Amino acid sequence: MIDKRLFQLPGVKSLFKLLAGLTLLQAFMILLQASFLTTALVNSWKRQPLATLLGPMFAFFIALALRHGLTWIKSRLLDRFATQTSENLRQQLLDQIYTNGAQLAASQGTGNLVTVALDGLDEVDNYLNLILSKFMNMMIIPWVILVYVFFQDVTSGIILILVFPVIILFMIILGYAAQAKADSQYAEYVVLSNHFLDALRGLTTLKMLGLSKRYTKNIYQVSEKYRQKTMSTLRIAILSTFALDWFTTLSIALLAVFLGLALMKGSLPLYPALVTLILAPEYFLPLRDFAGDYHATLNGKNAFTQIMELLHLPTITNRQQLPASPWQADSQLEIKNLNFQYDPRTASANLQDLTFSLHGFQHVGIIGPSGAGKSTLLQTLSGFLVPQGGSIKLNGHSLDHLAQEEWQKQFAYLPQNPYLFRATIADNIRFYEPQASEQAVAQAAAQAGLKTFLASLPQGLETVVGEGGRGISGGQAQRIMLARAFLAQERRVLIFDEPTAHLDIETEYALKQSIVPLMEQHLVLFATHRLHWLQQMDYIIVMDHGQIVTQGPRATLMQEKQGPFFDLITQMRGDF
Ligand SMILES: Nc1ncnc2c1ncn2[C@@H]1O[C@H](COP(=O)(O)OP(=O)(O)OP(=O)(O)O)[C@@H](O)[C@H]1O
C-alpha cells in the first residue's frame, strides 16, 4: 500500500520516531477525552451536583485541545519534511536530467519529464504529507484504544478486534482495484503530457500542412480517454469510501446493540459501556482516514514511484576519462562495432556494428535515407547518447562513451531541430563562448547571414527570442546556430546535422559561401540530404537501417557505377 522506498528517504526514520511519540500521546489524549466526557455524562445521569460535572468537562476540553494541538504539531512537522523532501527530489531529478538529458528525453519523452518535474513533485509533496501521518495514526491509535476497551469490557474488545481484519481485507481488495485503475490513469496522463507537448511544438508544421484541425480531434480523443480513466478511478475511490463508512457504521451499531443488551441485563455498568461506545468511532477513524486519503494520494504514489525509477536509472559516469587534448591535424577517433538502441525491448538496434575511423581535419559526409540513423550516430558521437556496445578510442585513449567533458568542449553541434533559449539573440550566439565581445558576436552573426534580419529588428542582437520572446523562423534559428559555430572557431570539430534543412535553396547557397571557409582546419561530420554538400566532403559514410552500408573517400565512391552509394546518389538526384 505504501511505497517501501518511502522509508529510505533521508530524515524519514527520525521523523517516524517523532511522529510515533506524538501519535502515542495523541492516543492517550483521545482516551482521556473519552474518559472525562463519560465521567461527566455518568455523573449527570446519576443526577450528581453540577459541580461534579465541571471538573471532568474542563479536563475533557483540555484533552481535546491537546489532541488537536498535537495534530497541528504533526502537520507542521510533516509539512516541513514533505516540502524539504520534494525540494531535494526536484534537485536530484534536475541533476539527473542535466546529466542524462538527451538520453532521458529520448526514452521518456520531454512532456513526461516536464510533467514529473512540475506536477509530479507537487503530488509527491501531498502524498508524503498525508500518507505518513495517516499511516502512523492507523498503526498506533486503534491499538491503544483496543487495549483500553479490553480493560473495560472484554466482549466489546473482541467485537472490535474481529471486525478489524475484515475491514483491512476489504481495504486491500478495493485498494488493489483502485491501484490498477490509478496506474492506467497515470499512464494515460503521461501519454497526454507527451502528446500535448508534441502538438505544441509541431503546431506551426501542422498549420502549414492544414492538419491542425484534425489534430485538435486527436488531442480531444487523448484527453477524453484520460477523463474516462480518471472517472473510473474516482468511481472505485468513492465506492470504497462509501463501503468502508457503511461497514464501520454497521460495526459501531452492532457494538451498540451488544452494549445496550448488557446494560439492560445489568451485566455491565454505565461507565464502561458509554466509554466503549464513545471510543468505537475513534477506533475506526484512523482506518477510514487512511483509506480515504490513500485513494486521494494514489497519483502522488505513482509520481513518487516514477521519480524514484528515474533517479535510479543508470547515470552516465566516467565523464572524465579523457585528458585535455584539443583535436589537431594528427588526432584520431576509432570506432569499432558501435551499437546503440533507444529502447532495448525492440528487436533491432538503431545503430548496428558501426566501424569507422576519423582523423585530422577530414570532412565526413554522412548520408542515407530518412530513418537510416544519421542523427543517432551524430548524437552518439557527441556523447548525448551512450552506446550499449563497441569500442571507442580517441587519440589512443579507450573510452566507454563520448560523453567526455574534454571531448564535448571541442565541438560545435548543430542539431536538426534548433532550440533557442529564452534570451537575447546575442546570448544565444554566445552559447559556446559566454565571454565573447559584442563585436565578435556581431561578426559571427554577419557571417551566418543574419545581417539583414538583425537590421529589421529595432533591438537588433539584443532582441529576446525563445519561449515567449519574438517569434523566429526555422531558417533564422538555424543561422543563429551557425553563428555559434562561427564564434567558437577554436572548437576544431563541427558536428552538423542537416544545418541547412530549414533554408530554401537560394539562401542555402548564399550561406554556403561562409560555411565552406569555416570548415577549413576542422574535423567536419556533416549529415545531409542535399547532394551539393558532398563536393565539400572528402570521406563519405552511407547508412541504411542503422548500418554502414558502404564508406570510403568521396573520389573513390564517385567512380562506382553500382552499389549503395551509386543507388542513393541516383535517388537523391531525383529528389533534389
Ligand atoms: N527518441 C527515439 N526513440 C526511439 N527511436 C528513435 C528515437 N529517435 C530516433 N529513433 C529511431 O531511430 C532510427 C534512426 O533515426 P535517426 O533520426 O537517427 O535517422 P536519420 O537518418 O537521422 O533520419 P532523418 O534523415 O529523417 O533525420 C529511426 O528508426 C527512428 O525511428
Give the mean pLDDT of 407-417.
89
Residue 324's pLDDT is 84
Residue 416 CA to residue 395 CA, distance in Å, equals: 28
Name every residue whose Cβ is closer than 8 Å to that of residue 34 and which is 6 or more positions away in sequence.
275, 278, 279, 282
pLDDT cut 90: percent of the chain above it: 40
Say how many Å lie between the CA of residue 457 and the centre of ligand 1: 36
Nearest-CA residue for ligand 1 atom 17 is 375
- Per-residue pLDDT, 295: 65
Please tell me which of 103-112, 149-158, 317-326, 458-467 the model is most confident about, judged by mean pLDDT: 149-158
Whole-angstrom distance, CA of residue 446 vs CA of residue 455: 11
Q: Is the CB of 150 under 6 A from ligand 1?
A: no
Kindly report the average pLDDT of the chain as a whole number: 86
Top mutation candidate among 341, 354, 376 for ligand 1, by most atoms within 8 Å of CB:
376
Q: Is the CB of 106 under 6 A from ligand 1?
A: yes
Written as nine digits, the cell of 560 is: 562506382
Q: What is the rounded CA–CA span in Å between residue 195 and residue 193?
A: 5
* β-strand pairing of 523-527 with 493-497: parallel
Output the pLDDT for position 228: 82
For residue 305, which amino acid is it? T
Q: pLDDT tens across 520-531, in order?
A: 999 999 999 888
Amino acid symbol at 189: Y
Rounded to an integer, the average pLDDT of 464-478 is 78
Ordered alpha helix ranges (H), 266-373: 270-296, 298-311
Mean pLDDT across 406-425: 89
Q: Which of 507, 523, 449 is nearest to 481 (CA)?
A: 449
pTM of the full predicted structure?
Answer: 0.68
Element (H, E) at 132: helix 121-152
Contact 102, 376 (CB under 8 A): no
Q: Which three cell numbers stand for residue 342?
A: 533507444
Atom of ligand 1 nearest to the CA of 376: 18
Predicted confidence (pLDDT) at residue 576 exceeds the cutoff of 50: no
Q: Which residue has the higher pLDDT, 466 or 393?
A: 393
Sign of CA dihedral 290, 295, 300, 303: positive
Q: How confident is the model at residue 410 (pLDDT cuts 50, 70, 90)?
A: very high
How many angstroms separate the alpha carbon of residue 350 from the centre of ligand 1?
A: 8
CATH number, domain 12-311: 1.20.1560.10
Residue 36 reports pLDDT greater than 90: yes
Summarised one tens digit per residue, pLDDT across range 552-569 is 999 999 888 888 889 888
pLDDT of residue 315: 74
pLDDT for position 181: 76
| Cα of 497 from ligand 1 centre, angstroms | 12
Does position 1 have pLDDT exceeding 70, yes or no? no
- Give, as one character, the DSSP assignment of residue 5: G
**Backbone phi, then psi, for 340, in 5-degree steps?**
-145, 140
CA 1 to chain centre: 22
Mutate to test the pocket of ligand 1, among 108, 375, 502, 547 (most ligand atoms within 8 A of CB): 375
What pLDDT does 477 receive?
A: 86
The whole-number pLDDT of residue 468 equals 64
**ipTM score of the complex?**
0.97
375 lines ligand 1 (CB under 6 A): yes
DSSP state of 316: P
Strands ordered across the beta sheet of 411-414: 411-414, 493-497, 523-527, 363-367, 539-544, 547-553
> pLDDT at position 59, please?
94
Q: Band of the pLDDT at 26, cuts 50, 70, 90?
A: very high
What pLDDT sits at residue 22? 95
pLDDT-derived band of residue 433, with 50, 70 and 90 as boundaries? very high
| Amino acid (1-letter code) at residue 342 | Y
Q: Which three cell numbers stand for residue 295?
A: 485513494
Residue 186, pLDDT above cutoff 90? no
Higher pLDDT residue, 164 or 547? Answer: 547
Nearest ligand 1 atom, CA 372: 21
Angle of CA points 161, 164, 170, to nearest 5°: 160
For ligand 1, mutation pick of 103, 110, 201, 342 (most atoms within 8 Å of CB): 342
The C-alpha cell 573517400 sits at: 553
User: Mean pLDDT over residues 132-146, rounded?
Assistant: 91
Residue 416 CA: which ligand 1 atom is closest? 27
Tell me what pLDDT residue 381 has.
94
Say how far residue 343 (Cα) sits from the centre of its chain. 17
315-330 pLDDT, tens digit per residue, is: 777 888 888 888 999 9
> In percent, how much of the chain has pLDDT > 70?
97
Report the pLDDT averaged over residues 512-535: 89
Domain coordinates in residue numbering, the chain: 12-311, 332-575
Ligand 1: centre distance to CA 565 (Å): 20
CB-based burial, 188-222: b 16+ in 10 Å, e otherwise: bbbbbbbbbbebeeeeeebeeeeeeeebeeeeeeb
Residue 296 has pLDDT above 70, yes or no: no
Higher pLDDT, 174 or 440: 440
What's the whole-number mean pLDDT along residues 360-372? 93
Instruction: Read off the pLDDT of residues 229-278 as tens digits, 9 standing for 90 and up.
Output: 778 777 777 777 788 888 889 989 989 999 999 989 888 899 999 999 99
Domain 332-575: CATH architecture, name and number where available: 3-Layer(aba) Sandwich (3.40)
Q: How far apart are CA 287 and CA 190, in angstroms?
A: 31
